[in-house]
Structure 1
Amino acid sequence: MKTLHIHGGTGDSTLRVGESFSHLDQYVPVDRTVIITDPAVRALYGDRFPDCPIIEIGIGERNKTLKTVEFIYERLIKMAADRSTWIVGIGGGIVCDVAGFVASTYLRGVQFGFAPSTLLAQVDAGVGGKNGVNFAGYKNMVGTFNQPAFVICDMEMLKTLSRADLLCGFAEIVKHGAIADPALFRYVEDRRQDALALEPAVVERMVYDAVVVKANIVNQDEREGGVRRKLNFGHTFGHAVEKVTGVPHGEAVSIGMAVAGLLSVRRGYLGQTDLQRLTDLLEALELPTRLDVDPQQALDALKRDKKRSGDHIKFVLLKAVGEAVVEDIRISELEEVLHERSRD
């Protein structure tokens, strides 16, 4: 097990990569803890949960809403949960996002932790203290910045994932390497087949190195006022793709990274060789790099992004593999790139 720390304004978070979530009872007061999970995770791992009350929420993005939050509040009130209560989210990104938001707002905040069950949640949603839910069709429109007391990344939980779920996680790992860690990017290039085969040492190193990138960035900028925006590489356009097409988050981010790479080349920041490396790696990981949707539909969705300001939007570009920059770009500039790409 390897340990990392995030020091946030809302408290410190300890990230334990390689720990078993069966040891959860070492990190929480079991008699004062409530677990939030979903039925699929409970069916797989419920026999290993500590003896705590359990609240189940539905599976899928449609359950990441204030209605679900209200349901959990009602259950917590019936349990007489007070400010000494701990909340632990055991599950994927939706469980972690919802559990973190509930814990941050119930009685103005109670202690919480995560045991992310997917690769995507281990390197993304479970780390960094951004907790939120969707509202009125807008992704993560309502949320908080609040650090979990701990995050347990159990590699054994990854063995039950579908291949599609694994690939979504690898998209985020590629993203972390692309924005801040060229050595991680090269490692994924060199060991991608071992990663896809879930070679334990290889996957654990990738998860750890990706979490190091995110922890370092969050330690500098917890509330996304500057450098943390780099973690949105591939996400700004990716969220629009996700909304229009309904493809999994990691696939949408992969398309978003490819588009951001094209914009980076267009602006003279990124060399064609590095763009090819990026797209080659994503495709080698069986991730999409092209948009299979009307570009105008995606642009319309993008215009409702909370990062938009007038006809500009904050966008993460690459200067090289391992070096990112955040700039305001005109939405019309993105539109030109998309239409050029659709004609290729």
Structure 2
Amino acid sequence: MEHILLRGRFSDCKIIIGEPMESVRNHIPDRQVYIVTDDNIYGLYRTSFPDFPVYVLKAGEKSKTLDSAADICKWLMEHGAGRDAFLLGIGGGMVCDITGFTASIFMRGIGFGFAATSLLAQVDASIGGKNGVNLEGFKNMMGTFNQPHFVLCDTFMLQTLPEAELQNGLAEVVKHTLISDKKMFMWIRENIHKILQLDNELINRLVSHSITTKSEIVSRDEVEHGERRKLNLGHTWGHAVEKTDGIPHGQAVSIGLAFAARLSEHKGILTREERLLILDLLTSLGLPVITRTDPAKVFQALVKDKKRESGHIHYVLMNGLGDVSVERIPLDELKQFALSKAH
């Protein structure tokens, strides 16, 4: 078991790796607790839930909306929840996002925590204090920066993950190595088979590495004015692909990473050999690296991205394996590159 402390501006978040989900009882209050989950997790693990009221969402990104958050708020009111209530999200990235968002706005803010059940949630979505909901299919257009009291990551729960959900998380794991750790990138290449077999020791190492990488960056730039933008590597093009292609988040991020690698090579800051290593690792993990949608359509979705400012967009580029930088790129330049290549 491992504990990592993420220090925020107004509150800290305790992240617990390797503790069983049942022990979440040790981290929550003894009263006024309300649980949010989805129907998949509820069906698999409800007998392990603490004995408190449960709100069950339909699994999937389509539930991550302002309407769903409002419905949860109404449910809390019906159950007599007050300012001393605590919201516990048990689930993957969607559940964590909407739980944190709802807790942040209900009665101007109540306490919350997560038991993250997917690899994507454990290595990324539950970590860092970003909470949000989608608007008309556009990712996280409404949200808050607010740290959960804790995040519990029971890595043994990953054994029940469908292959596609495992791949979703691995895309974020690769992203974190590309940001700051070439050695870890190469280690993943050398251990692909065991990772895909969900060897628990290796999975624990991947989860710990990603959480440490993200926590250190967030602690220095919690509300994304500078360094935290690096964590958007692969997400600008990726979010647009997720919107247009309707594919899972991790697959879209993988396509976004491949796009960023091509753009970085085009700008002369990433070598062809490094780009090919990135594409080889992503495909070896079963992830796509190219969209089948018309790039012009993807670009139209991209221009609605939150990172857009006055005809420019903050884009994360790769200076090599384990080294990235954020460049303010004119949208016209990005469009010209996107439409000149198949991505």
The TM-score normalised by the length of structure 1 is 0.97
Partner of 2:167: 167
Partner of 1:134: 134
Deviations 1:14-35 (A, max 9, x none): 1111111110111012322111
> Conserved in 2, the CA contact under 8 Å of 1:271 and 1:320?
yes
Partner SS, residue 101 of structure 2: helix
Partner of 2:177: 177
Question: Which residues of 2 match residues 1-344 of structure 1 at below 5 A?
Answer: 1-342=1-342
Q: CA deviation at 1:261?
A: 0.6
Deviations 1:34-68 (A, max 9, x none): 11001110110000001111111122211111100
Q: CA deviation at 1:272?
A: 1.5
Cα separation, 2, equivalents of 1:30 and 1:298: 48
Partner SS, residue 94 of structure 2: helix
Q: CA deviation at 1:138?
A: 2.5
Cα separation, 2, equivalents of 1:85 and 1:336: 51
Matched AA of 2:161: L
Partner SS, residue 81 of structure 1: coil
Q: CA deviation at 1:235?
A: 0.2
Cα separation, 2, equivalents of 1:166 and 1:30: 33
> Conserved in 2, the CA contact under 8 Å of 1:299 and 1:335?
yes
Matched AA of 1:123: V
Partner SS, residue 31 of structure 1: coil
Cα separation, 1, equivalents of 2:258 and 2:310: 24
> Conserved in 2, the CA contact under 8 Å of 1:34 and 1:85?
yes
Cα separation, 2, equivalents of 1:98 and 1:30: 23
Cα separation, 1, equivalents of 2:273 and 2:34: 50
Cα separation, 2, equivalents of 1:30 and 1:190: 46
Q: Percent same amino acid among aligned pairs?
A: 43
Deviations 1:292-313 (A, max 9, x none): 1101000111111121123321
Cα separation, 1, equivalents of 2:40 and 2:52: 18
Q: CA deviation at 1:86?
A: 1.1
Partner SS, residue 31 of structure 2: helix
Cα separation, 2, equivalents of 1:312 and 1:152: 38
Q: CA deviation at 1:99?
A: 0.4
Q: CA deviation at 1:253?
A: 0.5
Where in structure 2 are there 5+ consecutive unaligned residues?
A: none
Q: CA deviation at 1:161?
A: 0.8
> Conserved in 2, the CA contact under 8 Å of 1:262 and 1:337?
no
Q: CA deviation at 1:245?
A: 0.5
Q: CA deviation at 1:139?
A: 1.5
> Conserved in 2, the CA contact under 8 Å of 1:30 and 1:52?
no
Deviations 1:271-320 (A, max 9, x none): 12211111110011011111211010001111111211233211000101
Runs of 4+ in 1 over 4 A off after TM superposition: none
Cα separation, 1, equivalents of 2:267 and 2:31: 57
Cα separation, 2, equivalents of 1:157 and 1:10: 31
Deviations 1:138-179 (A, max 9, x none): 311111000001001111111111101101100000000001
Deviations 1:230-255 (A, max 9, x none): 00000000000000010110000001
Partner SS, residue 326 of structure 2: strand
Cα separation, 2, equivalents of 1:258 and 1:212: 24
Matched AA of 1:295: P
Q: CA deviation at 1:220?
A: 0.5
Partner SS, residue 224 of structure 1: coil
> Conserved in 2, the CA contact under 8 Å of 1:30 and 1:51?
no
Cα separation, 2, equivalents of 1:86 and 1:122: 20
Where in structure 1 are there 5+ consecutive unaligned residues?
A: none
> Conserved in 2, the CA contact under 8 Å of 1:123 and 1:211?
yes
> Conserved in 1, the CA contact under 8 Å of 2:240 and 2:302?
yes
Q: CA deviation at 1:332?
A: 3.0
Q: CA deviation at 1:10?
A: 2.8
Cα separation, 2, equivalents of 1:62 and 1:12: 30
The TM-score normalised by the length of structure 2 is 0.98
Matched positions, count: 343
Cα separation, 2, equivalents of 1:184 and 1:35: 36
Cα separation, 2, equivalents of 1:306 and 1:140: 9
Cα separation, 1, equivalents of 2:306 and 2:8: 23
> Conserved in 1, the CA contact under 8 Å of 2:299 and 2:338?
no
Matched AA of 1:23: S
